[in-house]
């Protein structure tokens, strides 16, 4: 994090061909409609900056996980191109390439004029992307004179459009875009010098993915609130019967270590005191609000209960900085979404600086109608966790 991240403002880009790695991995509904276009909107600043400088702009992004070599329509970026065109409010159409490295894309690139925008197809249609393949990266690099990375959400991955491609640009021809600059600086500032009390709210399904972040957070925060599926590993570590709730048995020891470290360091550690429990992972079943002491051995907890919501609200009351990653329950199902919605409302109502990280959590905040109340919603869940863990991000390293 130490040295300042160079941004596109530091480069001379006038009239040049600029390759911008974006993160257009937006959620879509069952009909293929984009349900949340924040990631596209967040990219506009950098794109407009380039348009105003008469650049030829080549945009690239991955979209979900297609099988390499198979151009399936559901993974196509065509809907993104349409939305981007609407949002950019430019007259000329956006060029949409039919492929990533040819034959169509380079032909369209060659026909571009100043201020034109070309969107390549899903980078992951090509195996070289995730393999960080040099030959593939060289073909991508051939599109442009300048490389800009504005895909904070993908920066924790060592992929060709994030890492290998940067080898083909010298220091004066590569930089971060505005979105990435903002995200990185924001996280660094909060982690280095937070206004206290500083509270971390951590939820979601897996302890494993967040263990290191949790361990690292203990050295920085005053309170930790745990919800979601990951709470059950901690509850089981404390000896509670958690039934068939999501538990990572091999991490129970680590969970115990985290709790005793929290105690040693004076970090207040909060777990749910009650849950919304059901006999199966479904909405169409009996549901009970139960204290964590009373989960039947064949039931599972799918959301935090109302008492936990109140307890967590009390714990958040005096917070000055809150960082939130991971829903409190299976929020995708209405019946188990109340804990997450209430958490969103409660965080939004504090006077704290509030940072929301991760696609799911951002989605919760959006659904709860609190997006405008949060100080900062990060587009990159995995990447922001890595920053919290103080792990170098390949995408940032590559720009140095
Ligand atoms: P993550 O990707 O680790 O942030 O986890 C997000 C996912 O966790 C969401 O899809 C939720 O449905 C899921 N989740 C949250 N709480 C639970 C729970 N109690 N049991 C199972 N899954 C959960």
pLDDT tens readout for residues 242-270: 999 999 999 999 999 999 999 999 999 99
Percent pLDDT > 90 in the chain is 79
The yes-or-no verdict on residue 3 having pLDDT over 80 is: no
The yes-or-no verdict on residue 182 having pLDDT over 70 is: yes
| Cβ(335) – ligand 1 distance below 6 Å | no
Q: Which atom of ligand 1 is nearest to the CA of 231?
A: 19
Dump pLDDT digits (tens) for 339-375.
999 999 999 999 999 999 877 898 899 999 999 999 9
Give yes or no: residues 228 and 349 share one domain: yes
Q: Give the max Cα distance, the chain.
A: 68
Which residues sit opposite 321 in a β-bridge?
198, 353
Q: Rounded to an integer, what distance in angstroms lies between the CA atom of residue 96 and that of residue 330?
A: 37
At residue 378, the pLDDT reads 83
* Domain-ending residue, one of 182, 204, 239: 182
* Domain-ending residue, one of 153, 182, 211: 182
Give yes or no: residues 347 and 199 share one domain: yes
Give the dihedral sign, CA 386/357/222/210.
negative
Nearest to 92 by CA among 63, 69, 112: 112
Over residues 229-247, the mean pLDDT reads 97
Q: Which residue has the CA at smallest separation from atom 15 of ligand 1?
A: 329
Dump pLDDT digits (tens) for 21-44.
999 998 888 888 998 898 899 999
18-22, 240-244, 390-394 — which is least confidently predicted? Answer: 390-394
Give yes or no: residues 50 and 149 share one domain: yes
Q: Could you tell me if residue 249 is inside a domain?
A: yes
Q: Which residue has the CA at smallest separation from atom 10 of ligand 1?
A: 330
Please tell me the total count of domains within the chain.
2
Counting Cβ atoms within 10 Å, is residue 379 exposed (0-12), middle (13-18) or buried (19+)? buried
The yes-or-no verdict on residue 2 having pLDDT over 70 is: no
Q: Which atom of ligand 1 is nearest to the CA of 325?
A: 4
| Cβ(100) – ligand 1 distance below 6 Å | no
The yes-or-no verdict on residue 230 having pLDDT over 80 is: yes
At residue 310, the pLDDT reads 98
Percent pLDDT > 70 in the chain is 99
For the domain that residue 81 is a member of, what is the CATH number? 3.40.50.1260
Dump pLDDT digits (tens) for 98-156.
999 999 999 999 999 999 999 999 999 999 999 999 999 999 999 999 999 999 888 98
Check: CB of residue 336 under 8 Å from CB of residue 302.
yes
Check: CB of residue 118 under 8 Å from CB of residue 112.
yes
Q: Which atom of ligand 1 is nearest to the CA of 331?
A: 12
Over residues 197-213, the mean pLDDT reads 90
Residue with the larger pLDDT of the pair 188 and 163: 163
Q: Could you tell me if residue 1 is inside a domain?
A: no
- Tell me, yes or no, if 83 is annotated catalytic: no
Q: Rounded to an integer, what distance in angstroms lies between the CA atom of residue 343 and that of residue 204?
A: 13
At residue 387, the pLDDT reads 78
| Cβ(363) – ligand 1 distance below 6 Å | no
In 3-state terms the chain splits into helix, strand, coil percentages (rounded to 5) of: 40, 15, 40
Average pLDDT, the chain: 93
Q: Rounded to an integer, what distance in angstroms lies between the CA atom of residue 362 and that of residue 84?
A: 20
- Tell me, yes or no, if 359 is annotated catalytic: yes
Q: How far is the CA of 113 from the centre of ligand 1 (A)?
A: 46
The yes-or-no verdict on residue 189 having pLDDT over 90 is: no
Q: Could you tell me if residue 70 is inside a domain?
A: yes
| Cβ(305) – ligand 1 distance below 6 Å | no
Give yes or no: residues 241 and 95 share one domain: no
| Cβ(235) – ligand 1 distance below 6 Å | no
- Tell me, yes or no, if 382 is annotated catalytic: yes
Q: Could you tell me if residue 46 is inside a domain?
A: yes
Give yes or no: residues 152 and 226 share one domain: no
- Tell me, yes or no, if 395 is annotated catalytic: no
- Strands (E) in 30-119, as ranges, are 56-60, 95-96, 117-119
Give yes or no: residues 256 and 145 share one domain: no
| Cβ(301) – ligand 1 distance below 6 Å | yes
Nearest to 247 by CA among 257, 258, 256, 237: 237
Give yes or no: residues 263 and 308 share one domain: yes
Dump pLDDT digits (tens) for 148-166.
999 988 898 999 999 999 9
Q: Considering 48, 53, 82, 382, which one is annotated as catalytic?
A: 382
User: Could you tell me which residues come within 8 angstroms of residue 105 by beta carbon, excluding any fewer than 6 positions away?
Assistant: 97, 98, 99, 118, 120, 121, 143
**Domain encompassing residue 343:** 194-388
Which tokens hold the place of 377? 């919603």
Q: Rounded to an integer, what distance in angstroms lies between the CA atom of residue 352 and that of residue 393?
A: 27
φ, ψ (nearest 5 deg) of residue 46? -65, -40
Test site for ligand 1: of 233, 278, 327, most ligand atoms within 8 A of the Cβ = 327
Q: Could you tell me if residue 230 is inside a domain?
A: yes
Give yes or no: residues 83 and 220 share one domain: no
Q: Considering 206, 268, 313, 335, which one is annotated as catalytic?
A: 206
Give yes or no: residues 161 and 257 share one domain: no
Give yes or no: residues 158 and 241 share one domain: no
Q: Which atom of ligand 1 is nearest to the CA of 275?
A: 19
Q: Could you tell me if residue 396 is inside a domain?
A: no
Q: Which atom of ligand 1 is nearest to the CA of 333?
A: 12
Q: Rounded to an integer, what distance in angstroms lies between the CA atom of residue 272 and that of residue 269?
A: 10
Q: Rounded to an integer, what distance in angstroms lies between the CA atom of residue 271 and that of residue 259?
A: 10
pLDDT bracket for residue 1 (50, 70, 90): very low
Give the dihedral sign, CA 138/143/146/149.
negative
Dump pLDDT digits (tens) for 285-316.
999 999 999 999 999 999 999 999 999 999 99
Q: Could you tell me if residue 315 is inside a domain?
A: yes
Check: CB of residue 191 under 8 Å from CB of residue 217.
no
Give yes or no: residues 71 and 105 share one domain: yes
């Amino acid at each position: 994090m130490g040295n300042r991240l160079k941004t596109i403002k530091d480069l001379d880009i006038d009239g040049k061909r600029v390759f911008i790695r974006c993160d257009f991995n937006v959620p879509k509904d069952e009909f293929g409609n984009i349900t949340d276009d924040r990631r596209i909107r967040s990219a506009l600043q950098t794109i407009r900056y380039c348009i105003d400088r008469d650049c030829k702009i080549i945009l690239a992004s991955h979209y979900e996980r297609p099988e390499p070599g198979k151009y399936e329509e559901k993974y196509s970026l065509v809907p993104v191109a349409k939305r981007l065109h609407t949002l950019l409010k430019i007259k000329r159409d956006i060029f949409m390439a039919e492929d990533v490295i040819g034959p169509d894309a380079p032909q369209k690139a060659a026909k571009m004029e100043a201020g034109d925008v070309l969107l390549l197809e899903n980078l992951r249609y090509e195996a070289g992307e995730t393999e960080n393949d040099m030959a593939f990266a060289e073909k991508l690099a051939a599109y442009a004179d300048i490389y800009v990375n504005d895909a904070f959400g993908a920066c924790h991955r060592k992929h060709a459009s994030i890492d290998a491609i940067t080898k083909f640009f010298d220091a004066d021809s590569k930089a971060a875009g505005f979105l990435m600059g903002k995200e990185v600086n924001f996280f660094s500032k909060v982690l280095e010098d937070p206004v206290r009390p500083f509270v971390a709210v951590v939820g979601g399904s897996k302890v494993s993915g967040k263990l290191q972040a949790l361990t690292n957070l203990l050295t920085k925060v005053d309170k930790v609130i745990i919800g979601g599926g990951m709470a059950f590993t901690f509850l089981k570590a404390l000896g509670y019967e958690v039934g068939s709730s999501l538990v990572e048995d091999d991490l129970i020891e680590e969970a115990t270590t985290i709790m005793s470290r929290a105690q040693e360091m004076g970090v207040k550690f909060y777990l749910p005191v009650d849950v919304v429990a059901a006999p199966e992972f479904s909405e169409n079943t009996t549901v009970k609000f139960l204290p964590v002491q009373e989960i039947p051995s064949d039931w599972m907890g799918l959301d935090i209960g109302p008492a936990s919501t109140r307890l967590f609200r009390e714990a958040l009351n005096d917070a000055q900085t809150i960082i939130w990653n991971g829903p409190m329950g299976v929020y995708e199902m209405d019946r188990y979404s109340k804990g997450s919605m209430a958490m969103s409302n409660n965080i939004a109502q504090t006077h704290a600086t509030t940072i929301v990280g991760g696609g799911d959590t951002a989605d919760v905040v959006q659904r709860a109608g609190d997006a405008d109340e949060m100080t900062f919603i990060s587009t990159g869940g995995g990447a922001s966790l890595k920053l919290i863990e103080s792990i170098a991000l390949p995408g940032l390293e590559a720009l140095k």
